[in-house]
Structure 1
Amino acid sequence: MDWQQWHDRYDAPESPLAWRLRAVQDRIGAALDAAPPGPLRVISLCAGQGRDLLGVLPAHPRREDVRARLVERDPGNVAEVRRTATALGLPGVEAVVADAALLDHCADLVPADLVLLCGVFGNITSADIERTVEACTQLCAPGARVIWTRHRNAPDQVPRICAWFESRGFVREWTTSTDHVQSVTVHRFTATPAPLRPGTRVFDFVGYNRLRARESRTPLETDEPRGNG
């Protein structure tokens, strides 16, 4: 998969992914608006080219308060984030080439005020989704928001994922209607953060096509997952 070329799908204004990006950006803006005064820590896992955060931060009044780390395995995408952040005058935005499934890369930014999990849950197994939800209790400060996405193709996992969050001290603040195949949801953390566990690996990035192939019991079922954090 060419993960840089994959981002071209966002450039078609009427595509589901372009719609999802706009919805995520809107929720990021609302989360920054609602955050208390002072420094703000943002973590984005499997960040891609960071179009969600970088599409909001330059014009937002809290831009100078934000320290963000975008974790992404593809070096080309990370280079694009760095170029864009520099061009926009956002020294607080850092992009690292790393496996986003390893929480160690976020150790000095936790607990964070905003966690972005966009484009993650559609590419990992259900068991790994639940592990990632559990890991959010290590990443989030009290009152922090998690913005996450997931498609609603059958079987629709969105209600199940919401239940996993809500059983761990998260309150659902907002979600898109079921009319959209690409869903966006915001959960706010109301519990006490758990200590970060170094060395914790929370998921393997299998990829949407491989997951669908496994469900269909095709020969791809035996393929080894490859990460793209």
Structure 2
Amino acid sequence: MSYSPKLAAALSGATLRQLAHWRKAGVGRGAVLVPEISAARPVLYSFRDVMALRTCVKLRNDTSLQKIRRALDTLRDDLGERDHLSAYRLVADNSTIYLAAPDQAIDLVRSKANVVIHEMVDVLRPFYRDGRHIPDLLRPRDHVTVDPAVRGGIPVIEGTRVPYDEVAALLRDGVPADRITDYYPSVTATAALEAEDFADYVDSYDSPRGPREAAAG
């Protein structure tokens, strides 16, 4: 199972424009993250990609994209670390970015040999980006969960394999929340409403339409 750019953006906190920008290499530098499923249309991200993107968004809250690219180049080229970006724990302050281990961290920007102690921040937990609340990755809503072992990580209703967007689509078609059990007996009205709320959040990542598109719509 894979994630569309819109769903990857909603679960990571990145914008669609950032995703597109991060897929491209900079001048003399590699791309921040190339989707491992498909980097060409249709662009498709993996669960590991979403994990890595959340890390990038958290880093971007505290430092510049230039420093992020520099840190990634140090990680890949100087330290020889070639695993997927989600395999590494990266944290930032206002001056540098660290590759963090349980008891120490390596400075990837200012001094490649500098080993320091640094407190980790859990990338799975909720955070804020530009005033937007980015939900917990594994539980974006109380009754909506993400598990890579269930439907490849597509958000589902807690305790089921029912995708959130299928439930939201029924509500948007006029099915009352308390009648969702007619279609999915394991989905409560509360869970259905949370699925719709999460679907609204995901749809908020749609690219804004231009004046011509709006007029045509």
Q: TM-score, structure 1 length as denominator?
A: 0.26
Structure with greater Cα Rg: 2
Hey, which of these two has a bigger chunk of strand by percent?
1
Q: TM-score, structure 2 length as denominator?
A: 0.27
Pick 1 or 2: higher relative contact order, CA cutoff 8 A, min separation 6: 1
